[in-house]
Amino acid sequence: MELQKEECGYDNFLKLLQCFCARYGHTHQQASFAKQTVTDLESTRTDFAARLYSENDGVPDECVYNVDETDIQYDMPPRYIWSQRDGTTKLSKGEKHSYRMTAVMTIRRDGEKLPILFGIRQRGVT
């Protein structure tokens, strides 16, 4: 049995981790830093909710809508792609946004659900 080269250890371990993550449904995420602490964000949310409910207490239930917008991306090239060290990593302009769709789900405060709206970006429309 032949031993691997010393400089290949990291690459082989990285490939093993990537296969493990793909097998169990983990995704590649880009790291980011929070600009505020969690307690500051929670207090801001609590203050906003209290102010919102006090200002809109008299609005009837059938006039209050909760809307959730979700982007759906299918068969779209990932943000990070693998390429040769000196090769090109550029994508053509058409590949970047050609397979995106938006689903809008709405429910009224009285519990009635509205139909799902789907939005697709068309060429020539910004």
Q: Can you give the pLDDT at residue 24?
A: 76
Q: Does residue 59 register a pLDDT over 50?
A: yes
Which residues on neighbouring strands pair with residue 72, listed in sequence order? Answer: 101
- CA dist 5 and 8 (Å) reads 6
Work out the pLDDT band at 87, boundaries 50, 70, 90. low
Are 106 and 66 spatial neighbours (Cβ–Cβ below 8 Å)?
Answer: yes
Q: Does residue 10 register a pLDDT over 90?
A: no
Work out the pLDDT band at 48, boundaries 50, 70, 90. very high
Are 66 and 52 spatial neighbours (Cβ–Cβ below 8 Å)?
Answer: no
Work out the pLDDT band at 94, boundaries 50, 70, 90. very low
- CA dist 107 and 93 (Å) reads 36
Work out the pLDDT band at 46, boundaries 50, 70, 90. very high
Asked whether the whole model's pTM tops 0.85, one would answer: no
How many alpha carbons lie under 13 Å from residue 38 in its C-beta half-sphere?
A: 0
- Mean pLDDT of the region 14-38: 76
Residue 29's SS3 state is coil
Backbone angles phi, psi at 70, to 5 degrees: -130, 130
